[in-house]
A and B are shown apart, each in its own frame.
Chain A
């Protein structure tokens, strides 16, 4: 036997390793929820319901995936909801004068997207400067941005949404030929999500995200430019919040200051349900995607089965609580095995 032989991994019972696998748990929860809703009323599986579901999911998943990077790196970004609102408002403001001036629709959309992206990235850069440059705790820095962002969104709109013409909504509603309920807009969101997932799992950027969250000192000792990377996570998060702001501009046909009011916490809930540790260092993007899907199915499903609107947050909150309990049980199982 060679020296320093590492003890072999002990066999884990199959049921236990399956249970300990977060993806299994999340997929089961998602499937059960959808089956229950379909059983309640088969209209749930119609293409109009599904497209609604997918659109709501698209408005959450980018922010949640960005939040996954931030949380795995050991930080948190509480500002995303407000950054969405500010970016959406600014983009709408930029697009509004062009809409009735016979400017090509594509040009208007690209302009809006660039404005939203820039506004979001700028907000993220301010977060990054506070956190990396001035050593402000991420919780506090992004809390300030969240609060300030809400204020700015109101100031810049006077509290009223910036209406784009009703045609704006049809930009997003066009579904892809052959796919009954996938809109172009959702397809773009899904494509970005997949790329980010690959980067997190397979690329050096993702590797350093985990390394920094797992052991900041070891990452620095290995020659990784930790400050530069940490800053980039908040800029990424801001930029994706900006894009999501633009997404809502198109979907709602207006830039509203109230957009994203609950998004921050729902996104963080999706990340946590997905099995990412709030202490940093571990997590998966597939978990986050499934977590986001579960939360959207619960929220839309509650409306679908005629739960009164005021009760919907309570239902969502209950699911977050139950899912968190299952997650913490899963972690205990894994530790014991």
Chain B
């Protein structure tokens, strides 16, 4: 693990009018770790990921990627810097094939005059999509199937696989196991671990504390816009984590 954090927040604050969403938030995240980001509703989880992913600009403080200060003007800037975000339920286009979804917005064109005219190399996209998904532990029968034919867990796994495939540094997952059954959630957690093992930093936002405890290396607890605890996962139990989130015990 390199000493330079792949993602660093230094004294970041953000408010909407008189509401302080984030107050003096600092964190360091490294390649090859899964960080759980937990907190009650309104604790600032959403504001934090939206700041990292370029939806919001912080009022104060700075964001560093691989040691270099960066300023996002839009989510595109964050994506270009290697940070992929999977928002709650943003998901995939159900009518398109798995391969088309994986390459959505980054289509491969044919290597001919037709390619210059915008014609797509569908076959390459589907075979590459299969290979890349297998790298993160998702085996799909054929990338030609439409996403609407997949179960909820499979869809989420494909969505995360997509983010993992394109992210150079960080993937941010906002409640990826929401609405999923136990078995489907396990599939999703497996994909997260595979992404970490490939050297990505995974930010995992969730209310499902057992999932957080199972998959993360470190947990950051937010309360009322501040980081109140940042410690290795081994130091938490469901009870102590719940206590920290609610502020009833530290």
**Which A residues are closer than 8 A to B by beta carbons?**
2-6, 8-9, 198-199, 202-205, 207, 210-211, 213-215, 217-219, 221-224, 281-282
Contacts of B149 in A (CB 8 A): 9
**With an 8 A cutoff between CB atoms, is B95 at the interface?**
yes
Contact present for A2 and B93 (CB under 8 Å): no
Residues of A within 8 A of B107 (CB): 204, 207
Contacts of B117 in A (CB 8 A): 203
- Residues of chain A with a CB closer than 8 A to B92's CB: 215, 218
Instruction: Please determine whether A5 and B90 come into contact, CB atoms closer than 8 angstroms.
Output: no
Q: Is the CB of A213 within 8 A of B190?
A: no
Contact indicator B137/A222 (Cβ below 8 Å): no
Q: Is the CB of A221 within 8 A of B191?
A: no
Nearest residue in A to B184 (C-beta to C-beta)? A4
Q: Name the CB-closest residue of A to B149.
A: A9
Q: Which residue of A lies closest to B108 (CB)?
A: A204
> How many residues does chain B have at the interface if contact means C-beta atoms less than 8 Å apart?
38
Distance in Å: Cβ of A336 to nearest Cβ of chain B: 13
Contacts of A210 in B (CB 8 A): 93, 95-96
- What are 25 contact pairs spanning A and B, CB under 8 A? A3-B139, A3-B190, A4-B157, A4-B187, A6-B138, A6-B150, A6-B154, A8-B141, A9-B149, A199-B118, A202-B120, A207-B104, A207-B107, A211-B93, A211-B104, A214-B95, A217-B90, A218-B90, A218-B92, A219-B93, A221-B75, A221-B90, A222-B105, A223-B79, A224-B105
Contacts of A4 in B (CB 8 A): 137-139, 154, 157, 187, 190-191
Interface string of B66-87 (1 = CB under 8 A from A): 0000000001100100000101
Contacting residues, chain A, for B211 (C-beta < 8 A): none
Choose from B79, B95, B101, B106 the contact partner of A282 (Cβ within 8 Å).
Answer: B95
State in angstroms the CA–CA spacing of A221 and B87 once bound together.
9
Is the CB of B94 closer than 8 A to any CB of chain A?
A: yes
List the B residue with the shortest CB-CB distance to A1. Answer: B139
Alpha-carbon separation in the docked complex, A8 to B140 (Å): 9
Looking at the assembled complex, report how far the CB atom of B143 sits from the nearest CB atom of chain A, in whole angstroms: 11
B145 to chain A, nearest CB (A): 7
Is chain B's binding surface mostly helix, strand, loop or mixed? loop
Chain A residues, Cβ within 8 Å of B118: 199, 203-205
Evaluate contact between B120 and A203: CB separation under 8 angstroms.
yes
Q: Please tell me if the beta carbons of A223 and B76 are within 8 angstroms of each other in the complex.
A: yes
Residues of B contacting A2 in the complex (Cβ-Cβ under 8 angstroms): 134, 137, 139
- B109, B119, B140, B141: most-surrounded residue (chain A CB, <10 A): B119
**Looking across the interface, which residue of chain A has its beta carbon closest to that of B146?**
A282
A62 → B minimal CB distance (Å): 20
A227 to chain B, nearest CB (A): 14
Answer yes or no: B232 CB below 8 A from chain A CBs. Answer: no
Question: Contacts A203-B117, A215-B94, A218-B104; is A6 near B109 (CB within 8 Å)?
Answer: no
Docked pose: A154 CA to B105 CA in angstroms? 45
Determine if A222 and B104 form an interchain contact, defined as CB atoms under 8 angstroms apart: yes
Q: Which residue of A lies closest to B147 (CB)?
A: A214
B106 contact set on A, CB distance < 8 A = 222
Q: Are A9 and B139 touching (Cβ within 8 A)?
A: no
- In the bound complex, CA of A217 to CA of B109 (Å): 24
Q: Mark B101-136, 1 if CB is under 8 A from A, else 0.
A: 100111101000000011110100000000000100
Asked if A203 and B119 make an inter-chain contact with CB atoms under 8 angstroms apart, the answer reads: yes
| Contact between B137 and A3, CB atoms less than 8 A apart | yes
A residues near B13, Cβ cutoff 8 Å: none
B119 cross-chain contacts in A, Cβ below 8 A: 198, 202-204
A214 touches B90 (CB 8 A): no
- Inside 8 A of B140's CB, which chain A residues have their CB? 6
**Minimal beta-carbon separation of B188 from chain A (angstroms):** 9
Residues of B within 8 A of A202 (CB): 119-120, 122
Contacts of B216 in A (CB 8 A): none
Q: Within the complex, what minimum Cβ distance (angstroms) separates A217 from chain B?
A: 5
Alpha-carbon separation in the docked complex, A2 to B134 (Å): 9
Contact A3 B96 (CB under 8 A): no
